[in-house]
Amino acid sequence: MKCGAAISVSERVVSLTEHDDGWDRYDNRYRHNDSDACKPGGILMSVTASVKVSYRFGEGTIEGIDEFSEELTKHYVANVRGRRAGLGGGLYQLSVEFLSRLTFKEIATFLLEGLAYDLIKTAGKEFVIRPFLDAYSRLKERPTNTRLGIDEVRFTFQDTSILIRELPNTELLSDLEGILISVAQNLPMIAGSSKDRVFEIRIPIVEDDTPERIGRFRDLTWVDEPIDVARISSLDYFRYWGIEYDIEPRKAYDVGAEAFIDERYYTTMEYWALQRAERDKKRSGLR
């Protein structure tokens, strides 16, 4: 197959389950042939990684989204889809998910050896983010896409998942390398503290110090957030993480202290549900 040629159905097999909000689960199997990979300067790589990009839009879709999607298909099994939502005109928020045939334990070894975080290849398997970063940069440079942003990036490896949600006053992609290296450095403590498998590492969670807090640790919300977000910075990616296991209760993790805090954390949806329950109690006079 020549560099730049399309990948035929016979060379790529994709099995997926689709729901209203996109792909809930998908499994990719590939015919890998190193001779098909492009030489330096080419545009097509052996496709052993997948990326899903979903976005919500207000008035009109994203300028250049079709070109962005086509560019991703040169490097990944890619799915790019949008859905109308109650956002202001020109405000677009992307959720990105990468699937890799590698374990994060393998990735961590390479990162701690100083390899580039965005292009790792080993034994016919790849962890490649650079093509996405380049395509996204070109998409964001378009004049009408000044309010384009990323809500979250999820990495699904063979052993665990890492979910990174963008914080106010930050550029998530600018901090991505530092975050992944920090996870690699903390992995022995996180994975070694329990016999249970780490299902997901959630980055970041915040400590709620407001007077009427429901729990100590939770996601930072994007609607009616009582915490003063003006004080949020990139440093908060490296303060507290949420660790979820297959069976054991989830825990907060103090990155600076390299230690667990024996308190659970709440996701955005859980926090909102608890807020509603508290409001209902007040209305009914139970509190």
Comparison of pLDDT for 65 and 6, the residue scoring more: 65
Tens of pLDDT, residue by residue over 270-284, are 999 988 888 888 787
Is pLDDT above 80 for 34?
Answer: no
| pLDDT at site 122 | 81
Confidence of residue 91 (pLDDT cuts 50, 70, 90): low
d(CA 1, CA 5): 7
Q: Which residue shows structure tokens 């914080």?
A: 167
Domain ranges of the chain: 1-159, 188-287
Is pLDDT above 50 for 212?
Answer: yes
Residue 94 phi, psi (nearest 5): -100, 140
Length of the chain: 287
- Across residues 142-158, what is the average pLDDT? 92
| pLDDT at site 88 | 54
- Across residues 178-198, what is the average pLDDT? 95
Instruction: Confirm if 99 and 93 have CB atoms less than 8 A apart.
Output: no
